[in-house]
Amino acid sequence: MIFASGVFLYYFLPVFLALYYLSPRYLKSYVIAVASYIFYGWWRPDFVILMLISTVVDYTCGEYITKAHEAGRKGKQWLIVSLVVNLGLLGYFKYVNFGIDSLNILLDSCGISPVRWMDVVLPVGISFYTFQTMSYTIDVYRGTSPPVRNFRDFMCYVAMFPQLVAGPIVRYNTIADQLHTRDHTTEKFFRGILFFQCGLAKKVLIADTLGYVANQAFDGTVQSMIDSWMGVVAYAFQIFFDFSGYSDMAIGLGFMMGFRFPINFNQPYRAVSITDFWRRWHISLSSFLRDYLYMPLGGNRKGSVRTYVNLSITMLLGGLWHGAAWNFIVWGAYQGFWLVIERLFGKRSLYGRAPRWIQIGLTFIVALFGWVFFRAPDLAAAGAFFKAMFGLGPCPLASLGLEIRPLHYIMAATAVLWTWGAPSTQVLIPRIRASHILLVQIVFIITILHMHFQDHVPFLYYQF
């Protein structure tokens, strides 16, 4: 089930909210958990079992780690159990196909028969909820998070449908008190509606519309400089408004349920360096990689060379987390390269002395090159796309080979204005005036109508 669908908007969400608010306080977490299992299992009910396994394992491990601490021991073996189970599930379902395919390429080059293997279907959201549940056991082991009060609250925490399949990655210690007790106010509910409406508009009107242009550019037929640049810019806006739109909807649904989720985007295309970009883009993942990978590797505490190695490893694994393919690994290496270079310049970019608007523009271009690796189906396609961008394709300057309609130009202009001329949703909504609320409702109605005249487009991060 996806947010941008009639089933969710007209049936699931109204029924859920009615049951949620009619239920007594002690049952509200159960209502969330059961509704979340239905939401998650809408496509493949059997995948709910995987989430339940992670839930039971990490709840149990957290309990035993807590008992070990009370007895004066560390309980490290229970942390290891949690990591092995969660990383084992993630590794099998997300990376076994990639591993077998890579092995078969190697075997074929040596003249050896390939390994026969039935493709494994990737469960939606497994990258997010495994990181989320692991963060709980790690934090309990470190003593930075309180143990969960009961299994009901932990079920609710792991399965909570607003951020279940595409984040943000919410750490238990940030909402532990909210799971136990939270306030439900008209102001918070209304703010949640506005967040959801803005997020849906970002996704349906901007991301999906520009995604049509990006898909044409990356289908392997674009060979001109102008079209390739238009395609990668369209994709940059598509992935931003798709993912930030989802995050806004998740935050909005959280408000409707009385929760406050952390922000996941802070105007990343206004960054003045790649270091700054990663402070603003997918903030929950960036902080996760920093706290659970970069810092345990040693962070910047063991000398310059080790710092550069740790940054590179962190971003390589961050790239691999996004997808089981070599282009994602290269994308992670590319990001790590720029972080290392900027670290050499004191966390500033090579163009750090330029006027701010030039720094922003150059950082955006650096990010665009990275998005080519991220979006291209493989490294060969990425290489061909780069050739086109630099005018080395068969038709260097041919333009508008893409099918572009007036709506695409309108949404591109809207994306530019929203990205560089308007405050973020988190800043805008608390300050929104009554006169602007009518405009939001008109845009929301247009979004709903547009949604019914196009095919359902899943959120991009569902596949990661």
Give the Cα separation of 403 and 399 in Å (integer): 11
Q: Which structure tokens are listed for 252?
A: 């909005």
SS (H, E, C) 215-238: HHHCCCCCCCHHHHHHHHHHHHHH
Asked if 451 contacts 197 with a C-beta cutoff of 8 angstroms, the reply is no
Is there a catalytic annotation at residue 322? Answer: yes
Question: What is the DSSP code (8-state) at residue 71?
Answer: T
Exposure string of 453-464, with b = 16+ CB inside 10 Å and e = fewer, is eeeebebbbbeb
Q: What type of residue is 185?
A: T
| Residue 116: alpha-carbon gap to chain centroid | 33
Which of 168, 181, 233 lies closest to 404, judged by CA?
Answer: 233
> How far is the CA of 27 from the CAs of 34, 150, 260, in angstroms?
11, 13, 20
Asked if 251 contacts 171 with a C-beta cutoff of 8 angstroms, the reply is no
Question: What is the DSSP code (8-state) at residue 9?
Answer: I
Catalytic residue, chosen from 322, 408, 450, 456, is: 322
Give the Cα separation of 429 and 393 in Å (integer): 45
> How far is the CA of 193 from the CAs of 20, 35, 422, in angstroms?
16, 19, 20
Name all contacts of 96-105 with Cβ < 8 Å and 24+ positions apart.
96/120, 97/324, 98/324, 98/325
User: Strand, helix or coil at 182?
Assistant: coil
- Which residue matches tokens 């050739």? 387
Asked if 156 contacts 33 with a C-beta cutoff of 8 angstroms, the reply is yes
What number of H helices and E strands is found in the chain? 20, 0
CB neighbours of residue 49 within 10 Å: 11
> How far is the CA of 171 from the CAs of 62, 137, 338, in angstroms?
14, 10, 28
- Which residue matches tokens 């439900």? 184
Residues acting as catalytic residues: 322
